[in-house]
């Protein structure tokens, strides 16, 4: 596949993620921090987000599985996940975390269980799309292309 087609796929994927509300402006700001002196910056940040998210989701699942649920602990975990999601610009994950925290405040077990499921779904969706984006970027660079946000670096 040629660079132009890969670049178009990348642009289309990014446009879709923003239109669907998966990402917000924070993600653009992270992209701007990547340059020739730090060409893997975005991949490193996204990979750390994946690692942290997996650990936090596992902790939340364990906490919600206990009886009785410690709502202060789950709220703290959700707050941590919200912050992590915010820092990378994962807008829909962050928004679900906001709702999740209201269920924690109300000590609503069913609401927390449903919110955990929704958080997991939103996380899996953004993870899949970001992995696709990173793979496209690797392919573009491997065949001598330049990523749009790195032009002029």
Q: What's residue 58's pLDDT? A: 97
In this prediction, residues 107-115 reach a mean pLDDT of 97
Main-chain phi, psi angles of 35, to 5 degrees: -150, -170
Q: For 63-100, write each residue's pLDDT tens digit.
A: 999 999 999 999 999 999 999 999 999 999 999 999 99
First-to-last alpha carbon distance for the chain, in angstroms, is 25
Residue 3: name the closest of 134, 138, 150 by CA: 138
Question: How does DSSP classify residue 89?
Answer: T
Question: How does DSSP classify residue 37?
Answer: T
* Structural fold of domain 3-141: 1.20.120
CB 115 within 8 A of CB 104: no
Q: How many other CB atoms are there within 10 angstroms of residue 13's CB atom?
A: 15
Give the span between the Cα atoms of 55 and 40, in whole angstroms: 23
CB 26 within 8 A of CB 89: yes
pLDDT bracket for residue 150 (50, 70, 90): low
Give the span between the Cα atoms of 86 and 81, in whole angstroms: 8
Q: For 29-71, write each residue's pLDDT tens digit.
A: 998 888 778 888 999 999 999 999 999 999 999 999 999 999 9
Q: How many residues does the chain have?
A: 153
Domain boundaries, the chain: 3-141
pLDDT bracket for residue 149 (50, 70, 90): low
What tokens were used for 15? 């446009």
């Amino acid at each position: 596949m040629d660079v132009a087609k890969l670049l178009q796929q990348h642009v289309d994927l990014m446009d879709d993620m923003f239109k669907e509300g998966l990402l917000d402006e924070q993600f653009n700001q992270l992209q701007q921090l990547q340059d020739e002196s730090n060409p893997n910056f975005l991949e490193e940040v996204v990979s750390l987000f994946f690692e942290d998210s997996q650990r936090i989701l596992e902790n939340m699942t364990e906490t919600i599985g206990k009886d009785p649920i410690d709502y202060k602990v789950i709220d703290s975990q959700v707050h941590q996940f919200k912050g992590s999601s915010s820092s990378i610009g994962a807008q829909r994950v962050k928004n679900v975390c906001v709702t999740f925290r209201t269920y924690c405040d109300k000590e609503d077990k069913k609401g927390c269980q449903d919110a955990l499921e929704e958080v997991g779904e939103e996380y899996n969706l953004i993870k899949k799309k970001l992995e696709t984006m990173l793979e496209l970027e690797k392919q573009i660079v491997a065949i001598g292309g330049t990523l749009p946000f790195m032009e002029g670096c």
